[in-house]
Amino acid sequence: MAMPVLTVSSKNYSSWALRGWLLCKMSGLEFEEHKASAEDASMRAELLLLSPSCLVPSLEHGGTKIWDTFAIAEYLNEIRPKAGLYPAGRKARAHCRSVSGEMHSGFFNLRSALPMNLKAHHSGFKVWAGALPDIVRITEIWRSCLETYGGPFLFGAAPTVADAMYAPVCTRFRTYDVPLDPVCAAYRDTIIAWPVLQQWIRDAAAEPDDVAELDVEF
């Protein structure tokens, strides 16, 4: 069988590519990484939030192609059930899927107001008022999970799909200097220090390609 291939876009700007990559790493799946061209139309549509259905990231495995991040999570859970992508208990798994799905399908104002940019840091950034309800809801989710399952990850001692889904939010909160309460700040720092995320951040720092449209307003 050919080596699985994960196609990603910009490591500096793409939150969805990061999620798909983290999920593959967490599953223990060995894969080749393919970088979509900066001129690829679907990649730029994803980064500029112009497309509701993005084809990047995508995973090709055993003749099967999966291109939605949540679909990638479910597929990896099927082929790697012992990887612990979801919590062990049925109730906790349902909770994990719910908060992950909420991130997958919502928080559009946050995405627009605070686009992912790992190389940047905007100290004292004034967050657009429309994004504040998204920030409030996200921090509510974090506090509830951390209180219920004890941390340091959202569902306990080990990372799950939920942590992969919210990891780009942690980077956004750092990039734009979003004030957080101590509990949420500690979670953000846990995710930022996560070794696999640190690997992605290093790769992003070495990435030569920029998408000028994403930097023009900041």
Query: Tens digit of pLDDT for each residue in 131-171?
Result: 999 999 999 999 999 999 999 999 999 999 999 999 999 99
Burial status of residue 105 (CB atoms within 10 A of its CB: 0-12, 13-18, 19 or more)? exposed
pLDDT of residue 45: 55
Rounded-to-integer distance, Cα 120 and Cα 125, Å: 12
Q: What is the DSSP letter of 129?
A: G
Averaged pLDDT for residues 73-93: 97
Residue 216 resides in a domain: no
When mean pLDDT is compared across 133-137, 183-187, 214-218, the lowest value belongs to 214-218
Residue 215 resides in a domain: no
CATH number of the domain that 183 lies in? 1.20.1050
Q: Are residues 22 and 65 in the same domain?
A: yes
Rounded-to-integer distance, Cα 184 and Cα 169, Å: 11
pLDDT of residue 217: 38
pLDDT surpassing 70 at residue 61: yes
pLDDT surpassing 70 at residue 115: yes
Q: Are residues 63 and 100 in the same domain?
A: no
Residue 9 resides in a domain: yes
Q: How many domains does the chain have?
A: 2
Decide: 99 and 46 in contact? Cβ < 8 Å: no
10: confidence class by pLDDT, cuts 50, 70, 90: confident
- Domain residues for 106? 90-200
Of 83, 108, 132, which closes a domain?
83
Residue 129 or residue 216, greater confidence: 129
Decide: 10 and 211 in contact? Cβ < 8 Å: yes
Q: Are residues 94 and 186 in the same domain?
A: yes
Residue 140 resides in a domain: yes
pLDDT of residue 155: 98
pLDDT surpassing 70 at residue 214: no
Q: Are residues 73 and 128 in the same domain?
A: no
Q: Are residues 62 and 105 in the same domain?
A: no
Contacts of 119 (CB under 8 A, 6+ apart): 12, 204, 205
Residue 32 resides in a domain: yes
Residue 170 resides in a domain: yes
pLDDT of residue 1: 66
CA 167 to chain centre: 5
Q: Are residues 34 and 78 in the same domain?
A: yes
Decide: 162 and 102 in contact? Cβ < 8 Å: no
Secondary structure tally for the chain: helices H, strands E:
10, 4
Q: Of 145, 183, 136, whose CA–CA distance to 163 is shortest?
A: 145
Q: Are residues 193 and 99 in the same domain?
A: yes
Determine if the peptide bond prior to 182 is cis (ω within 30°): no
Q: Are residues 71 and 161 in the same domain?
A: no
Rounded-to-integer distance, Cα 94 and Cα 77, Å: 14
Residue 149 is encoded by which pair of tokens?
């399952």
The strand pair at 5-8 and 32-35 is best described as parallel
Q: Are residues 114 and 187 in the same domain?
A: yes
Residue 217 resides in a domain: no
Residue 207 resides in a domain: no
CATH number of the domain that 26 lies in? 3.40.30.10
216: confidence class by pLDDT, cuts 50, 70, 90: very low
Give the DSSP H or E segment for 33: strand 32-35
